[in-house]
A = this chain, B = another copy of it.
Amino acid sequence: MYGSMEGDTVHVPAPAREQFYDNRGYGHPRGDALALSSVEAAHLLFRDDLEAVDGMGFRSFLATTNTLVRFLVYKDLRERGFYLSPARDGWVGSDTTDDVDFVVYPRGNGPWDGVTEYRVRVVGERESIPASSLTGTLAVVDEESEITYFSVETPDVTGSTDHDLPQDVSGMLLADRVVLWDVPPVLYENAFYGQPLDPRDTADDGSASGSAKPMSIQCSLVEAAHLADRGIVRVDAGLDGVVERGRAVEGERFDRRRAAYSTLRGRGIVPKTGYKFGADFRTYANVEHVGDLDHSEQLVRVLPSDHSVSPRDLALDVRLAHGVRKRMVFALTDATGAIDWRSISRLTP
């Protein structure tokens, strides 16, 4: 059969509908004829199911239309056994957006079943993606045309950490950290703030009772700002002094990290530095005692809400998180400190 271009659509006369749509889920019916997107036409040309479009075979068609990257994803999903449709207005359900390229149906289903498995957005490795637009399924085509799929979800960010803490403990601002000298161990041992200056102060027995012997704790600036804000610690330099120091060493990133830190704490989750994983925080949802700590469950990267991510950085984050069995979470934080949470993971369709 032969097709002809009509703008960005390829028209194939009857009985194309029966042959390609009814039997194999390609295109959008026009009576007994069929409208195909250029990606679908390219795939039918590639498979020799369509002979030519306006005289062009597969190679010239690829060279004329700008479809290569989307074609690769379309082909890959077809090879994995899915039927899928280009997310065009009127071709698929009403909830398409600019950020969706393909609507993929569950295996065994087609466009006529009204069920969706994935909404796939196709991006090249070098494109930059506004983090706030991350949603659904992302198909990244790398420079050597391999495809990686990511699934974006809204994570449940709640924990159960809750301890009674003293008030008005005193702290000393020292360079870019705050030391709490001789304070009640509950701050570290149960609430998991800071780190002991002297490891010998830590109880080894993992008992939840804890010792009453005071210990000296080093806190990060975000920890100290949170503690000072709640009246738990009174830093010699004041809350303002801590915040000022934070901004001096980190710029406005400090305010974002502080907002994310306090939001997590407010939800019963303990954030600790994620430095060793290249993230802002690793988090623990349920801390009773540091001697009896599970592995942290999440890695959190705090980003401005208008930040754009590169697929390569995304791949790095998700790969690392997967390797250490943690969930990768982005905290998209705006100027008011409001946070939009996204979790990203590898997906094998």
Contact = CB atoms under 8 A, between A and B. Distances in A.
A276 to B, nearest CB: 6
A249 interface: yes
Nearest to A182: B59
B177 A277 contact: no
- Chain A's interface size range is 35 or more
Given A126-B249, A172-B63, A320-B323, A275 B177 contact: no
B175 A69 contact: yes
Interface stretch (A97-105, A138-146, A153-161): A138-146
A218 interface: yes
Interface string A54-82: 00000100110010110000000001000
Interface of A is mostly: mixed
Contacts of A319: 276-278, 320, 324
Nearest to A246: B143
Interface string A302-326: 0000000001110111011001100
A2 interface: no
Q: How many copies does the complex hold?
A: 2
B277 A68 contact: no
Given A195-B146, A249-B126, A68 B174 contact: yes
A272 B175 contact: no
Given A143-B273, A220-B143, A278 B315 contact: yes
A312 B143 contact: no
A221 interface: yes
A159 to B, nearest CB: 19
A117 interface: no
Nearest to A315: B278
A340 interface: no
A194 interface: yes
A184 B183 CA distance: 73
B143 A221 contact: yes
Contacts of A144: 194-195, 218-220, 223, 272-273, 275
B143 A315 contact: no
Contacts of A174: 62-63, 68
A287 B324 CA distance: 30
Contacts of A176: 124, 126, 143
A4 to B, nearest CB: 23
A277 B315 contact: yes
Contact of A145 (B126, B146, B195, B277): B195
Interface of A: 59, 62-63, 66, 68-69, 79, 124-126, 140, 142-146, 148, 172, 174-177, 179, 181, 194-195, 197, 199, 218-223, 249-250, 272-273, 275-279, 311-313, 315-317, 319-320, 323-324
10 contacts: A63-B172, A79-B199, A142-B273, A143-B220, A144-B194, A144-B220, A144-B272, A276-B319, A279-B316, A316-B317
